[in-house]
């Protein structure tokens, strides 16, 4: 399977994972509409990558964006729900405004876009919904309660839609990246000078996982993909930077002796 000549909407596509997904789809021949509050950088814009200014939290703006894509492209084949927001702090220091912003961006935005696109998918009995989640959607993290809750809810939405939409010929995939070198952790728990960031996932790694799910043959449904950097074990703290370096170099002497 290929995404060549497919029409895709990618939310939160102005930077980070969303931008990497959008540009990867364009490289593979897709026509991509980047739905985010700010536009992607000018140097990546092209006739195959269009920006549609959209606040994913607004039903009016989401419905308008989907209508614009359908009017211009005639169809939509792929929706990548990627927009996300995180405030990393203890629960008793989290304001109601921050709670609302995280839930509205991480969950409501995916709900609104998915709901708006489904009539077009159902009319053709095809389409692919991709939810860029987080490993925080699989387990809770200290000082990240509301973000984790929003991502757990996003998993519930995606899993339920997979059951609901499979008979319609519509595929649903959730992607769960671990620590990724983007501005989201830089603004919260991993500043730009954090030495561990050298060993984080790159946005292109997540984009490759999205492409993998999208390019499977029709008989294959990829429900979940979990990817973490080697420095990040699933259930314990990060490995040391020295060990991460040796792992990345393929050193047989992992003990450092």
Q: What is the DSSP letter of 12?
A: S
- Would you say the C-alpha torsion 157, 163, 169, 174 has a positive or negative sign? positive
Instruction: State residue 186's pLDDT score.
Output: 75
CA-to-CA dists, residue 158 to 86, 130, 166, angstroms = 20, 8, 12
- Is there a contact between 195 and 141 (Cβ–Cβ < 8 Å)? no
pLDDT < 50 positions in the chain: 257
- 49-53 and 78-81 beta bridge pairing: unpaired
What's the pTM value of the predicted model, to 2 decimals?
0.94
What pLDDT was estimated at residue 88? 93
Give the pLDDT confidence score for residue 255 in this predicted structure.
55
CA distance 235 to 249: 24
The CATH number of the structural domain formed by 7-232 is 3.40.50.720
Q: Check residue 249 and give its pLDDT.
A: 83
Specify whether 199 is catalytic: no
| Contacts (Cβ under 8 Å, ≥6 apart) of 99 | 146
Angle between helices 109-124 and 145-165 (to 10 degrees): 10
- Active-site hit among 87, 99, 147, 212: 147
Q: 88, 39 in Cβ contact below 8 A?
A: no
SS3 145: helix
pLDDT of residue 252: 57
* 79: β partners: 9, 129
Instruction: Identify the burial level of 93 via C-beta atoms within 10 angstroms of its C-beta, where 0-12 means exposed, 13-18 middle and 19 or more buried.
Output: exposed
DSSP letters, 161-183, are HHHHHGGGT-EEEEEEE-SBSSH
**What pLDDT, on a 0 to 100 scale, did the predictor assign at position 168?**
97
* Residue pair 87/102 in contact by the 8 Å Cβ criterion: yes
Token output for 180: 């990724």
Helix (H, G, I), strand (E, B) or coil at 35: strand
Residues contacting residue 96 through CB under 8 Å, at least 6 positions apart: none
Task: Residue 21: name the closest of 143, 249, 204, 231 by CA.
Answer: 204
Query: How many CB atoms lie under 10 A from the CB of residue 141?
Result: 14
- What the block records as the tokens of 89 is 């702090």
């Amino acid at each position: 399977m290929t995404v060549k000549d497919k029409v895709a909407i990618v939310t939160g596509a102005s930077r980070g994972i969303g931008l990497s997904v959008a540009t990867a789809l364009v490289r593979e021949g897709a026509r991509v509409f980047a739905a985010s509050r700010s536009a992607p950088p000018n140097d990546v814009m092209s006739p195959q990558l269009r920006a549609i200014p959209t606040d994913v939290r607004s039903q009016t703006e989401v419905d308008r964006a989907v209508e614009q894509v359908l009017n211009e492209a005639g169809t939509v084949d792929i929706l990548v729900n990627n927009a996300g927001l995180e405030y990393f702090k203890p629960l008793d220091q989290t304001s109601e405004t921050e709670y609302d912003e995280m839930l509205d961006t991480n969950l409501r935005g995916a709900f609104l876009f998915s709901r708006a696109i489904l009539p077009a998918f159902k009319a053709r009995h095809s389409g692919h919904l991709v939810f860029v989640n987080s490993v925080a959607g699989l387990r809770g993290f200290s000082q990240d309660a509301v973000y984790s809750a929003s991502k757990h809810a996003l998993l519930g939405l995606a899993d339920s839609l997979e059951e609901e939409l499979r008979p319609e010929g519509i595929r649903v995939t959730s992607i769960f990246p671990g620590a990724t070198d983007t501005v989201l952790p830089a603004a919260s728990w991993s500043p730009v000078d954090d030495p561990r960031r050298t060993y984080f996932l790159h946005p292109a790694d997540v984009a490759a996982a999205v492409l993998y799910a999208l390019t499977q043959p029709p008989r294959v449904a990829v429900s979940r993909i979990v990817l973490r950097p080697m420095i990040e074990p699933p259930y314990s703290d990060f490995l040391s930077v020295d060990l991460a370096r040796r792992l990345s170099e393929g050193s047989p002497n992992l003990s450092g002796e």
